[in-house]
Amino acid sequence: MAGRAVLAIWHGFVNKFGILLLIAVQCVIFGWYYGAEKVIPVLNEKSRIKVGAIWMTIIKYILPVFLVIIWLIGIVDLFMKASQFELMVDITIIVLVLALSAVFYRMDPVKN
């Protein structure tokens, strides 16, 4: 019974927070850090639907802003409606993800 509750909390956490935040971060990394402008000629080369300035605006500005807004609404909803147990499990998940990210980053042989 407890396993099912933890699984439901994990599932809700990943769907409401993990995926949204990671997509927003990927948009920022792809649009600003790697430079999505470099990909436009490759995308337009073999595609019937051409991308350009509107696509870049969506990737750089609109999509990350909307995803972060939805993410923040989910966090507020979590703190308003969640039980103490659910909050504890969610905080544990966050700490584990951050700790494992730091460990894997330190293990990366190609970091600067």
Per residue of the chain (112 residues), give pLDDT as tens: 677 877 877 777 777 777 888 888 888 888 888 888 888 888 889 888 888 889 889 988 999 999 889 888 888 887 788 788 888 887 888 788 778 878 887 887 765 5
Contact 40, 50 (CB under 8 A): no
Residues 79 and 47: their CA atoms lie apart, in Å, by 45
pTM more than 0.85: no
Q: How is residue 50 written in tokens?
A: 């051409």
**Cα 5 to Cα 76, 85, 88, distances in angstroms:** 21, 10, 13
63: tokens are 């999509």
Q: Within 13 Å and on the Cβ side, how many CA atoms surround 18?
A: 14
